Amino acid sequence: MEGTFATTTVGSLAAGVRSGRWTAVELVERCAAALADAHALTGCVAAFDTERALVAAEGLDAAMEAGAGPVGPLHGVPFTVKDWIDVEGLPGTGGWSRFRDRRPTRDATVVTRLRAAGAVLVAKTAPLVESEVYGVVRNPHDPSRSPGGSSSGEGAAVGAGASPLGLGSDSGGSVRLPAAWCGVAGLKPTAGRVPTTGHFPRVGLRSDGRTQIGPLVRDPADLDLVLRVLQGPDGRDAGVAPVPLGPVADVVVEGLRVAWCPGSPGWTPDGAVGRAVAAAVERLGSAGCSLAGELDLRLDEAFDVTQRYWDRGRLTGEQVAGQLSDWDRYSSRMLGALDGIDAVVLPAAREPAPPHRELVGADYVFTLPASLTGWPAVVVPVGAHEGLPVAVQVLARPWRDDVALALSSQIAFRSPPMSGF
């Protein structure tokens, strides 16, 4: 376990506990030690919860010894949670000093569901590339580089091999950008699939319908396992719909129509990212997908609508109405553009992780279309360039998270690797 924890998948960790290869306590101890090392390098941890984690793990091991069997599909798997997602008794500050003493009194729905599935919370992670409370978060592949934001600590913890499963939140790309720059798989589910109850700051269908909670993991195959635990109405988030999630194993990749967006005027990724997108498309073609050609995602329009959304606190009522109208128009146009197409491959970011700096809106230009439309979006690493991860993004039609996940597994960094971009 000592040598393999950093690379073992969520599914394999749970299987190892079920088979008796290791115990839940051993996994929690290994995770806590790895997180301490990762934190020393990256500043990724907001708060440890090791003592409670060990008590929970002991209870899980006792249940197995008594013959009760596993609690759920994630029995014994350690996990971490972004500071913005409430955990009872642990800091939930948003990274802002005015909330430094905030301690939630109940878990967010997603945390409750992971615990019920047998997962064990070990720590909370720092939000933002630099916050008032937690300071700077660094990239585990090169501490001089940015980890992306705002699920910065989660990207760093999972990318360092310290956390096998992290929960982040994504408004304009806050799961996907850290996934891309830290070299892990990240999912923004279809808007309305996973409850955001217990997210801080509070979000909802009308206050911020873009924000979704999603997982970060080492292997994209684990995204399906985790999403099945997280999804579905909780009776508190009015924006969540009871739409079934189809089994990823039932998705027939052959014949799926896949388009791609290599960029648009003014929004061109660097050479390594562009080559990665082309290689991913080629791989999907080799897997039997029907390649439907380039698709214009109107990146300029998406960026304009999002900039006005970010500035909405300074807009007049008339300007807000105009922004909402343009947002609806953009979403409708994109649905029309997707007619007859099952998925789109595009960059996750314009470049691999840059030197540490303040993030700007343009860093998210390729993640904005899925945020505005509510489509499911998966980011997966597909290789490396000059020692830094290179990732691509797969979007699918609304509620077809299964399709996005199936295609992502086809192109993720595995043997033979798509390297040398």
Indicate if 150 belongs to the active site.
yes
- pLDDT at res. 3: 56
Token pair recorded at residue 231: 């999804």
Marked catalytic residue, from 124, 131, 146, 150: 150
- pLDDT at res. 418: 37
Nearest 10 degrees: Cα torsion 124, 128, 134, 137:
90
Nearest by Cα to 226 from 8, 5, 9: 9
- pLDDT at res. 414: 54
Indicate if 371 belongs to the active site.
no
Whether the CB-CB separation of 387 and 404 falls below 8 Å is answered with no
CB neighbourhood size of 118 (10 A) = 22
Nearest by Cα to 27 from 68, 65, 48, 56: 56
Q: Where are the domains of the chain?
A: 10-230, 248-411
How wide is the angle at C-alpha 235 spanned by C-alphas 189 and 10, nearest 5°? 40
Class (C level, CATH) for 248-411: alpha beta
CATH 3.90.1300.10 is the classification of domain 10-230: yes
- pLDDT at res. 1: 56
Q: Are strands 290-294 and 212-217 parallel, antiparallel or unpaired?
A: unpaired
Marked catalytic residue, from 131, 152, 174, 371: 174
CB burial of residue 340 (10 Å; 0-12, 13-18, 19+):
exposed
- pLDDT at res. 417: 36
- pLDDT at res. 206: 87
State how far the Cα of 286 lies from the Cα of 280, in Å rounded to an integer: 10
- Residue by residue, DSSP assigns 95-106 as T-GGGTT---SS
Whether the CB-CB separation of 183 and 167 falls below 8 Å is answered with no
Which segments in the chain show pLDDT lower than 70? 1-3, 414-421
Whether omega for the bond prior to residue 416 falls within 30 degrees of 0, making it cis, is yes
pLDDT digit string, tens, across residues 324-352: 999 999 999 999 999 999 999 999 999 99
State how far the Cα of 77 lies from the Cα of 164, in Å rounded to an integer: 8
CB neighbourhood size of 73 (10 A) = 18
- pLDDT at res. 209: 87
User: Residues with Cβ < 8 Å from 389, sequence gap 6 or more?
Assistant: 141, 159, 180, 181, 182, 183, 352, 353, 381, 383
State how far the Cα of 324 lies from the Cα of 200, in Å rounded to an integer: 24
- pLDDT at res. 415: 38
State how far the Cα of 128 lies from the Cα of 46, in Å rounded to an integer: 11
Q: How many residues does the chain have?
A: 421
Asked if domains 10-230 and 248-411 share a fold, the reply is yes
- pLDDT at res. 348: 98
pTM (predicted TM-score):
0.96
State how far the Cα of 17 lies from the Cα of 57, in Å rounded to an integer: 11
Measured in degrees and rounded to the nearest 5, phi and psi for residue 122 equal: -110, -30
How wide is the angle at C-alpha 281 spanned by C-alphas 279 and 282, nearest 5°? 65
